[in-house]
Structure 1
Amino acid sequence: MIYIDDSEPEGVLEPAFPMRDVTINRNVDAHKHYDVLGEVGRGKFGTVYKCKDKANGLQLAAKFVPIPKREDKRNVEREVEIMNSLQHHLIIQLYAAYEYQKMMCVVLELIEGGELFDRVVDDEFVLTERVCRVFIRQVCEAMAFIHGNGIVHLDLKPENILVLTQKGNRIKIIDFGLALKPAQYFRTIYVSARAIRNLIKTRTHILRISGLSPFMGENDIETMSNVTIAKYDFEDDCFNGISPECLDFIAKLLAKDLGTRMTAAECMKHKWLQQRPATAATATPITKAASAASKSRLKSVSPVTAPSESSEDSTETIEDEDDDEEELAVEQAKQENQQQDEELAKLCGDAELENKELDATKDNLKNFIVRWETHPNSPYVFDVEGNVIAPLSETSYPHPRRTHGADSLSSSRGEYGSQRQRDRHALIHGK
């Protein structure tokens, strides 16, 4: 078992090299300046290698991206431009960039601790709520900085969060290949399709603190529908050990209404992230005496004076008070029953509306899937009858109308993922 450090990171580590503004070196072959030591990972847009600067011996990561089209070149240029504006200790930093013939090379700092994804799914790692809080606090700090600079990442997921060391808890956000300025985002339709699965992965992975997704349905279509309409619950037993503050934090992140959903900056102020390591507080047990006292306080008991043998008026007064109390109790019971009936009717009505919305969403998603599947560049396989949604890179599920060559596989894993990690069947929707 690998126990992750759950102590709070103190201060900022000294970077491997000073942060810098990088200008792309045109018509310069990166191989002249770096020794390539071996492949680190392979993504949809390029391949990452471990390399060494010939001038100073510094070990780095070099991402080589083919640019057969002008659009491909512009995408890398945009990534370099965005990363130049994101100089932060929780974000991977640029070292240099090169363009040579039909290839661009982006040189980055080397991070060898592995993906946060592995901490989430690998049974060897012991992941506690306290460790999760340390990770999430850093993610929120980094995202607040990114959003504060007017940039949206658009591909945030555990695969694109690297940990500096195997047992450590310091992280860095990586892969800004899809990052955009908000104005660019609203003009880009392509991102919307890719964002669908990442939305599911983000919403399900954020709940892995319990080991189960609260969006889980009977099949992929139902799970995807639950995510679309933000239908979830924390009723499973696995959520019993999660603190109320953590569940409140998650619920406020999953709010469908943008006006009520927390921003990254607001997340940093949430009471769950404000908690700092301390000695575990022991819960005060409720004793039988305390329980009895609590129950007695719930009862409305009128003081009764013992009747006097010499006073008939006193006896009559007590009887009258008893009659009044009985009438009052009956009236209160009627009001409570009426209120309960109204609440039940409201709940039934809400449930009926929710079920109708869920059914409509399922139908819309199935229609969307039929249209999207026929797209020649679709990286997913859909089986509407079997309610299966699977990316080609994560399964051997046969596409009904297309054979799969090596070039047709598109990786959805982070670009730092190892071959062993890429070959592992990714968990789909918490399964």
Structure 2
Amino acid sequence: MSSERVSDEVCLRYEPVEVLGVGSFGTVEKCTVHAGDEQLPGFVARKTISWGEGSSLNQEEVLYEKEALEGIAPHDGIVQLLDSWVSETELYLVFDYCENSDLLNYASAHPLDNDTLWSIHVQVMEIIRHIHSQGYIFFDVKLENILVVEANPIKVKFADFGGACPVEELGLRPLLSSRVYAAPEIRNPRLWPTIGPECDYFAWNISLFVLAVTSRFWQGGGPTIDQCLTSFLGGSSRTLHVEYIPAQNARESLFLEFLTEANVSSPEHRARCMSTHRWVTEVPASVSTAEGPIPSSASTISTASSPPPQVSSPTQRAGRHVPARSPSAPQQRARTSSPEPSARRASTKRTGVEKCLEKEKVGKSSGVGSTAGRRVASARKKAAKTCSMSPVPEAGGPAQAVLKLRATRPRRSYKY
């Protein structure tokens, strides 16, 4: 199909209505869908990415996003690719349209309480684990790349997979990651050999902090992202400015503790800290069980434990740090009432011989000289002695039972 014919079909099938955003590498438009002369209900989002003259990307790098979307299994937390095609110098991707925009714009207009932040965290951790389970690293986790699909209760999806990279191709592709959210191993060239899936958890922890600050000052007057993260831009300190989100109760104090611990955790402990901290494991009381089971956040990522490949020298592209690169919130506890303790029944006493005969069945399988076997032999001797000393032996007593058993069964020698 020629490029002219592709352009004609694009104009006829997807008609732009509004420009939703213009980024470093592409443009996203809100479009109506047409089938012939008929306009279909609803809208879609069409993303156009160019390469060649005037663009810092080549065709191979532009097609990375399409390859990632087709290589990662569908998930409720990932935008669905509805259509795609390539013209002479452009890639077109068509997705579902999300009316609520991304998390950064949504938080700038809506206050988010601590329980809502918890719900978003649980969803994002589940999405990151799914991406890692498919052998990919997202590398560009930030609020602008997380779309709000539903507002009540809030549901989110990941978008913009242009920076996603298969684990086995680390070091073979340029790394596209926003420097503000980049992990220390990305910002520090000496740590490039340790780059791995753990970078996504660090970026999300910083994004969650920015989300909390942005939501707190949703009416305006708050600090900018650069003011919140000046220590990260400098690169010498890893201190979060948590004073922008003072704690009003114990739950919010836990949240600040969670952000700080996750920020200073070593790469190999990030995922566990962000899955098992008390702020995560203690499900908020306001979270309704009608929303379904809480995804498990305690599992670790198998790819994170693999030895990281070597990474080569970096470059810088449009505000993104670009060095060449080398699967529970926890399961919700069941709130079932524990059964009342039942009255203890009186035990029926049995003679020592009966108990030992019963244990002899176990002792046989343990071999000659087992503890149960020794007890049986000792009980037999004691019973025989008692029977001989008794003037009128009891016909149905325990001693008689042993003697009858010995008469009908071959003797065994037990070593002591």
TM-score when normalising by structure 2? 0.52
Q: Could you tell me how far 1:181 is from its partner in structure 2?
A: 1.3
C-alpha distance in 2 between matches for 1:152 and 1:45: 20
- The partner residue of 1:262 within 258, 266, 271 is 271
Rounded to whole Å, the distance in 2 between the matches of 1:65 and 1:262 is 33
5 Å matches for 1:136-151? 136-151=121-136
CA distance in 1, matches of 2:152, 2:78: 19
Structure 1 residues 21-420: aligned runs within 5 Å: 28-29=6-7, 30-55=10-35, 57=40, 58-68=42-52, 72-84=58-70, 85-122=72-109, 125-165=110-150, 168-188=153-173, 191=176, 194-199=177-182, 204-208=206-210, 209=212, 222-225=231-234, 228-232=236-240, 238-239=246-247, 241=249, 242-262=251-271, 267-278=274-285, 379=318
Distance 1:262 1:202 in 2: 11
Q: Unaligned regions of 5+ residues in structure 2, if any?
A: 184-202, 288-313, 321-416
- SS of the residue 2:130 aligns to: helix
Q: 1:189 to 1:59 in 2, by over 3 A?
A: closer
Question: How far apart, in 2, do the equivalents of 1:243 and 1:54 lie?
Answer: 49
1:27–1:101 contact (8 Å) kept in structure 2 = no
Write the distance in 2 (CA, Å) between the matches of 1:223 and 1:103: 35
Secondary structure in structure 2 of the residue aligned to 1:162: strand
Task: Identify if the C-alpha distance between structure 1 residues 26 and 246 changes in structure 2 by more than 3 Å, giving closer, same or farther.
Answer: farther
Give the residue type in structure 1 aligned to 2:280. Answer: L
Deviations 1:97-147 (A, max 9, x none): 11122222111111111221024334xx22110111111111111111111
Instruction: Specify the code of the residue in structure 2 equivalent to 1:42.
Output: V
Query: Which one is further off, 88-97 or 42-51?
Result: 42-51
Higher Cα Rg, which structure: 2
Quote the Cα distance in structure 2 between the aligned partners of 1:98 and 1:140. 31
Structure 1 pair 72–203 and aligned structure 2 pair: CA distance change class (3 A): same
Shift in Å at residue 79 of structure 1?
Answer: 1.0
Amino acid at match of 2:180: R
Give % identity.
20
| SS of residue in 2 equivalent to 1:95 | strand
Task: Note the residue ranges of structure 1 that are not aligned, 5 or more in a row.
Answer: 1-24, 281-371, 381-390, 392-431
Query: Structure 1 pair 33/157, CA: closer, same or farther in 2 (3 Å)?
Result: same
Q: Equivalent residue of 1:92, what SS?
A: coil
Matches of 1:159 and 1:260, distance apart in 2: 26
The Cα offsets for residues 17-66 of structure 1, whole Å up to 9 and x where unpaired, read as: xxxxxxxx997332243233232221111111122332371521111122
Shift of 1:175: 0.7
Q: C-alpha separation between the residues in 2 aligned to 1:178 and 1:83?
A: 11
Aligned to 1:419: none
Distance 1:217 1:108 in 2: 31
Q: Which amino acid aligns with 1:80?
A: K
Cα distance in 2, alignment partners of residues 181 and 251 from structure 1? 30
In the alignment, the residues of structure 2 paired with residue 219 and residue 87 of structure 1 have an alpha-carbon distance, to the nearest angstrom, of: 35
AA in 1 matched with 2:100: G
Pair 1:198–1:185, CA change in 2 (3 A): farther
Q: 1:234, 1:32 → 2: CA distance?
A: 51
Q: CA distance change for structure 1 residues 150 and 279 in 2, over 3 Å: closer, same or farther? A: closer
Deviation at 1:154, TM superposition (A): 1.4
Change (3 A) 1:217 1:95: closer
Contact 2:181 2:206 in 1 (8 A): no
Pairwise CA distance, 1:78 = 1.9
Q: Residues 199 and 220 of structure 1: is their aligned pair in 2 closer, same or farther, counting only changes over 3 Å?
A: same
Give the AA of the match of 1:82. Answer: A
Contact 2:228 2:240 in 1 (8 A): no
Aligned residues: 255
Would the alpha carbon gap of residues 65 and 94 (structure 1) be closer, same or farther in structure 2, given more than 3 Å must change?
A: same
SS, match of residue 77 in structure 1: helix
CA distance in 1, matches of 2:4, 2:73: 23
SS of match in other structure, 2:58:
helix
Contact 2:231-2:238 within 8 A present in 1 as well: no
In 1, Cα distance between equivalents of 2:43 and 2:226: 46
C-alpha distance in 2 between matches for 1:217 and 1:135: 23
Shift of 1:221: 6.1
